Structure 1
Amino acid sequence: MQYDILATKEAVARTTEALAGRGIAAMTVENRAEALEHTKTLIPPGASVMNGSSRTLEEIGFVEHLKSGAHGWKNLHEEILMEKDPAKQTILRKHAVLSDYYLGSVHAV
Structure 2
Amino acid sequence: ASVAAYDHRLASAVVTLRAKSETNGFVNGHKMLHSRWVPSITPGLGNSLDQLIAMGGVDAELGEPWMGDAELELHDSQWDELKSILPVEKVLGGYYRELGVTFNGGELIADRSTPTV
Same fold by TM-score greater than 0.5: no
Shorter-chain TM range is under 0.3
TM-score (norm 2): 0.19
The structure carrying a bigger strand percent of its residues is 2
* Bigger helix share: 1
Which structure has the larger Rg? 2
- By relative contact order (CA 8 Å, sep 6+), the higher-ranking structure is 2
TM-score after normalising by structure 1: 0.20
